[in-house]
Amino acid sequence: MESLMNAAEEQQPPSALADPWSLKPESSKNQKPKGVGGFVLVHAGAGYHSESKAKEYKHVCKRACQRAVDRLKAGALAVEAVAAALVELEDSPFTNAGMGSNLNLSGEIECDASIMDGKSLHFGAVGAISGIKNPVLVANRLLSEAQKGKLSAGRIPPCFLVGRGAHDWAVGHGIPPCPSEKMATKFSLSAYKRNKRKMELAEKMETGHKQAKKRRQSSENENGSGCLDTVGAIVVDLEGNVAAAVSSGGLAMKHAGRVGQVAAHYGCGCWAENACNMNPYSTAVSTSGCGEHLIRTMLARECSAAVQSEDAHQALLEAMQNKFISSPFLVGEDRVLGGVIVLRCCRCVEAQPSKHIQGILVEFLWSHTTESMCVGYMSAQDSKAKTHISRLPPGTVAGQCLAIEGGVCRLTGTVE
């Protein structure tokens, strides 16, 4: 794999990436590659990742990559592999998704998750769901059920369910329930108690609005569970199909029933779209950060459209700057906080050594305006996943500048 250099918002993309992308997408509707495998890129949230827990963050990303690659090697499509990666991320007590998620004001765990299949363009999502260990499995089941067509009497199948209705639908479709108290961890419970004490103290003190706001921001930095948000993954499979998924426990001390960007809004938390006549590249995006900022900018879909340009690195940098940090929809925000992982790919036929050798060229990128973002990536040809905690350049301010990194991967196989 070829690595990209770290870049702040004012830096230009490295010219070294021009040559790998000089190959244009090859039309091969009737040809399918054999033994290509696939590629996965995951993230464990955009926010703040302490050095003391860096090992744990990287380890869960490695496990998520391996889980997805195992499914790809077994012949699974991208949408199945991306769901498998999310299950691993949700099961980790170090992420704010599934097990160990942030508790709301009522002391309960309510999760959001969504998934999108680039081949069918179907989408499934759940919001504010309680009592389900892996919310992404419910979102994925909604997606797969919708692909079967209309229900009895011509009813349209749901693609997005919330609250008790989402829980009951999941159980009715064979997904086992999990008591909410078993989903809370020692860490998430202690964070809830700490935040509750701070809120009670703040309400008693007759301070001005500005001082209260500063206190809330300070508590967010001190509370590890409040510093990380959505986790996600994007995948391309052996046939060149792409898929994306996201999952989150939401903000700490959120109001009961709040739904974040990963499920509430199509095109904000994740996006996946196979190449077509209009788009030469297949693209997949997963986002993380302040849900309200991602909702108002529809960041996932904006980034997907942007990287259809010839220079994906420059296009993503400009999209993050113009469509996010400087977005007219976020005027008045002191800090615009978010992060994205992006991949685009095209199928190419090598000139040498044989016209029967076909490859998928994958360019993968991540960018964030938060202090840090933890990512992991792996192809089916790799023996193990690579992980990295990306951080803003020294001297820059979170929410006002960005970092962007990534690489290129070539997957090869024979044409049937």
Tokens coding 188 = 């998430």
Tokens coding 261 = 């960007």
Which residues face 236 on adjacent strands? 39, 242
| Cα(71)–Cα(74) distance, integer angstroms | 5
Neighbours of 203 (CB within 10 A): 9
Q: Are strands 123-129 and 160-162 parallel, antiparallel or unpaired?
A: parallel
Q: 326 or 6: which carries more pLDDT confidence? A: 326
Q: What are the pLDDT digits (tens) for 361-386?
A: 999 999 999 999 999 999 999 999 99
pLDDT exceeds cutoff 80 at 403: yes
| Cα(137)–Cα(98) distance, integer angstroms | 11
Q: Is 235 helix (H, G, I), strand (E, B) or coil?
A: strand
Q: How confident is the model at residue 342 (pLDDT cuts 50, 70, 90)?
A: very high
pLDDT exceeds cutoff 50 at 23: no
Mean pLDDT of 103-124: 95
pLDDT exceeds cutoff 50 at 270: yes
Tokens coding 246 = 């996201």
pLDDT exceeds cutoff 60 at 5: no
| Closest of 278, 286, 259, 290 to residue 367, by C-alpha | 286
Q: How confident is the model at residue 307 (pLDDT cuts 50, 70, 90)?
A: very high
Q: How much is the pLDDT for 305?
A: 97
Residues in the chain: 416
| Cα(167)–Cα(325) distance, integer angstroms | 36
Average pLDDT, the chain: 85
| Cα(367)–Cα(338) distance, integer angstroms | 9
Q: How much is the pLDDT for 220?
A: 41
Backbone angles phi, psi at 37, to 5 degrees: 95, -100
Q: Tell me which residue has tokens 């209705």.
A: 165
Q: Say what the pTM is.
A: 0.87
| Cα(400)–Cα(156) distance, integer angstroms | 43
Is 282:347 a contact under the CB 8 Å cutoff? Answer: no
pLDDT exceeds cutoff 70 at 343: yes
Q: Give DSSP secondary structure letters for 283-307.
A: EEEEEEE-HHHHHHHTHHHHHHHHT
Q: How much is the pLDDT for 347?
A: 84
Q: How confident is the model at residue 121 (pLDDT cuts 50, 70, 90)?
A: very high
Q: How much is the pLDDT for 19?
A: 35
Q: How much is the pLDDT for 238?
A: 87
Tokens coding 155 = 């009813």
pLDDT exceeds cutoff 80 at 344: yes
**Beta carbons within 8 Å of 375's beta carbon, 6+ residues apart:** 41, 42, 43, 44, 61, 341, 366, 387, 388, 389, 390
pLDDT exceeds cutoff 50 at 4: no
pLDDT exceeds cutoff 50 at 246: yes
Q: 90 or 6: which carries more pLDDT confidence? A: 90
C-alpha atoms less than 13 angstroms from C-alpha of 124 in its C-beta half-sphere: 24
pLDDT exceeds cutoff 60 at 12: no
Least confident stretch, 4-13, 53-62, 80-89, 137-146: 4-13
pLDDT exceeds cutoff 60 at 229: yes
| Cα(372)–Cα(374) distance, integer angstroms | 7
pLDDT exceeds cutoff 60 at 180: yes
Q: Which residues are catalytic?
A: 230
pLDDT exceeds cutoff 60 at 228: no
**In degrees, to the nearest 5, what angle opens at C-alpha 285 toward C-alphas 339 and 413?**
130
